[in-house]
Amino acid sequence: MAIEVSFCTEPDFLRIFAIISDAFAGDQPYMDTMYPNHHTDHGRSEGAERLLHMKCTDATNRFLKAIDTGTGEIIGQAKWNVFENGMPEQTKLAGSYWESQDEKEYAEFLYEVCLEPIRRVARSAEGPLVVLDILTVDPKHQRRGAGRMLVEWGVKMADEMGAEMCVEASVFGRPLYKQNGFQDVEHVEVRVPEKWKGRPKIEFTFMRRAATSGKMNSGLN
């Protein structure tokens, strides 16, 4: 059955968030920290609202869905960010979704630290930058090509803009990004203050893809 990629609209967000939650259901402590109780109905409805708020308040966001044209079901999603003129100042995590002040502080810490490799590239970027922020495919529909289509959409857009790209890749996304011209820059294991040492390890591979001009800005070099 064919798959099509298009922009998300408001009614899609509950399904989009459910896909993110299901796809990260295994060993994904970042998701558990940022979106507490994301596996529950309440957590999903909160998560969907938060994503929709991002769409409505931040014009750099591009939310995409992959639809199975045979059933009409949304089976995957991507959130791209397009920074044409640098990256906006980081805002604090808003909301009261966390069970304690410590949980919220940990989420704020991760949010800041995990964005730092992208911020470093953005600070030194001489042209536009396209960032893949979230990519997930419903586990029931993986390995059908939806992930590839969502990545190719962003790559095509970046190439048309002459933009550099970057992504913080999970072990599952990394092969797909490599196939699309991203290169490993560094493997990041987030170092946490002593009080959070017992928490699950957060790690990812930071990857970059040069602008079509072939020029890679020097943010991390």
Site for ligand COA, rule CB under 6 A? 23-24, 76, 135-137, 142-148, 169-170, 172-173, 175-176
Give the closest residue to 165 by CA, choosing from 79, 80, 54: 80
Contacts of 131 (CB under 8 A, 6+ apart): 80, 81, 83, 118, 165, 166, 167
Residue 173 CB, nearest approach to ligand COA (Å)? 3
Q: Which residue is nearest to ligand COA (CB)?
A: 147
Residue whose CB is less far from ligand COA, 137 or 211 = 137
Residue 45 CB, nearest approach to ligand COA (Å)? 21
Residue 121 CB, nearest approach to ligand COA (Å)? 16
Residue whose CB is less far from ligand COA, 21 or 217 = 21
Contacts of 57 (CB under 8 A, 6+ apart): none
Residue whose CB is less far from ligand COA, 176 or 188 = 176
Residue 193 CB, nearest approach to ligand COA (Å)? 25
Residue 27 CB, nearest approach to ligand COA (Å)? 10
Residue whose CB is less far from ligand COA, 104 or 164 = 164
Residue whose CB is less far from ligand COA, 174 or 199 = 174
Burial of 108 per CB tally in 10 Å (0-12, 13-18, 19+) = middle
Cα dihedral 49, 102, 203, 205 sign: positive
Q: Alpha-carbon distance 32 to 36, whole Å?
A: 5
Phi, psi of 27 (to 5 degrees): -110, 75
